[in-house]
Structure formats: structure tokens, C-alpha cells
């Protein structure tokens, strides 16, 4: 896979400042400082990209008392710094691509349905009272049915905590592919095939900032 080669830079960033209306977060005027960086300031041995913000009450000292929010305030950046909005999608991309590009994308695009089953047996000796046989997995359930085929069983099934629905928006964000279908996002080969072109686009945006790629 031929990706654009990146030159490691220890520190490379730009800062953008603006005072904005803070009504959307229940505040008055806010002083917003946005930092855009493409460097190895984390000391990981490779450059990574980030768009972060520090937000304080306007005109006040930059102290904890006046701090409103910080970090990935991307909705605020997109609203008040439209010239940076196209960069938000690259947050946490490094020279190899978006963070855990294939694994994160396919995880969010997939549906995981795991169940466990409470199996109850009605026992005539106990005056038709139900007895809980136990908690069984999908693979164990058929064996339980066969073992107690002569009994009246009631099965109550629940999804386990690691079950999940597919999250199209999250998968698209991980892949930086805003119009992809779930089928696209589950196709590892298709994801890998589009990565070189994606990283060429990223390189152009980095160099347009005046950064060394």
C-alpha cells in the first residue's frame, strides 16, 4: 500500500482565536482558542493530527474558575471557525491513516447480537412451580432443550451487555467516508483500497496549512 511519506516533526501547530456567543452552552461571551497541529508532540515516533479548543469566559483570566470546556469541541469549531471545519474530520489521523482505521470502522458498522437464556422447568412434584435450571448461552441452549425434552420449559432471553446495533455515523467518521453504506464500511478490502487516495487528500490539507507533511 503506497501512502504519502511523512516527515516527523517534533512540534508544528497553528493557533486561532475568537470571541464568540456562548448561548448554545448556557454561557455569555466566550474566548475560544483553537489549536491545529500535525506533529509528534506526544513522543509516539510519528506525526498525528489534532483539532482541539480551550474555551473560557470572555475577558476573564484563563483560570480553572473561568474555564468552560476544552478538548474536542468540534461542533463549536465548525460553527465559529468555518475556515477550519473541513479539518475536523482528520482529527487523530496519523501517517498510516485514521486511528485503527479498519478495526474501528468495521466494529461500528457491525451488529453484534449475543444472548443469554434463563431456562425454567415446571415440575409436577413441586405443584407446577417453576424451577430455574440456569443461565445458558446460545450454543448451550439446544443441548438443554434436548436434555429436558420431556419437560415443560420456559425460556426467557436477554441480550448480553456486549451486544450492539450498527452505528452508521460512527463508522463513517472512523473511515472519513461520509457517504459510505454499511456494506462499504464492512468491506475490509474496499476500506484498504481507498486509503491511499484518502491520505493524499489529507496530505493536501496539511500542506495547505503551511505544515511540513
91 vs 50: CA distance, rounded Å: 5
- Would you state the pLDDT for residue 158? 87
- Would you state the pLDDT for residue 125? 61
Give me the helices (H) in 22-165, please. Answer: 74-80, 101-109, 138-147
Q: What is the strand order of the sheet 129-137 is part of? A: 129-137, 115-123, 152-159
Cβ count within 10 A of residue 140 = 14
3-state class (DSSP) for residue 158: strand
Instruction: Parse the chain into domains and list their residue ranges.
Output: 13-98+192-208, 115-159
Cβ count within 10 A of residue 173 = 18
Write out the chain's pLDDT in tens, 213 residues.
Answer: 799 999 999 999 999 999 999 887 778 899 999 999 999 998 989 999 999 999 999 999 999 999 999 999 999 999 999 999 999 999 999 999 999 999 999 999 999 888 889 988 887 666 666 788 888 888 898 898 888 888 888 898 888 888 899 999 999 999 999 999 999 999 999 999 999 999 999 999 999 999 999
Amino acid at each position: 500500500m503506497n501512502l504519502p511519506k511523512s516527515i516527523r516533526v517534533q512540534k508544528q501547530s497553528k493557533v486561532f482565536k475568537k470571541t464568540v456567543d456562548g448561548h448554545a452552552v448556557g454561557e455569555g461571551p466566550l474566548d475560544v482558542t483553537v489549536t491545529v497541529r500535525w506533529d509528534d508532540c506526544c513522543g509516539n515516533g510519528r506525526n498525528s493530527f489534532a483539532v482541539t479548543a480551550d474555551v473560557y469566559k470572555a475577558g476573564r483570566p484563563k483560570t480553572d474558575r473561568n474555564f468552560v470546556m476544552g478538548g474536542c469541541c468540534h461542533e463549536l469549531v465548525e460553527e465559529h471557525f468555518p475556515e477550519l471545519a473541513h479539518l475536523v474530520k482528520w482529527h487523530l489521523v496519523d501517517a498510516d491513516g485514521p486511528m485503527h482505521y479498519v478495526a474501528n470502522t468495521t466494529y461500528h458498522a457491525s451488529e453484534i447480537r449475543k444472548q443469554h437464556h434463563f431456562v425454567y422447568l415446571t415440575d409436577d412434584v413441586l405443584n407446577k412451580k417453576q424451577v430455574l435450571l440456569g443461565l445458558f448461552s446460545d450454543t448451550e441452549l439446544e443441548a438443554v432443550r434436548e436434555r429436558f425434552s420431556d419437560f415443560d420449559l420456559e425460556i426467557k432471553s436477554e441480550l448480553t451487555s456486549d451486544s450492539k446495533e450498527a452505528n452508521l455515523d460512527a463508522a463513517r467518521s472512523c473511515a472519513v467516508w461520509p457517504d459510505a453504506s454499511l456494506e462499504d464500511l464492512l468491506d475490509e478490502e474496499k476500506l484498504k483500497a481507498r486509503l491511499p487516495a484518502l491520505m493524499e487528500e489529507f496530505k493536501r490539507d496539511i500542506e495547505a496549512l503551511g505544515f511540513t507533511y
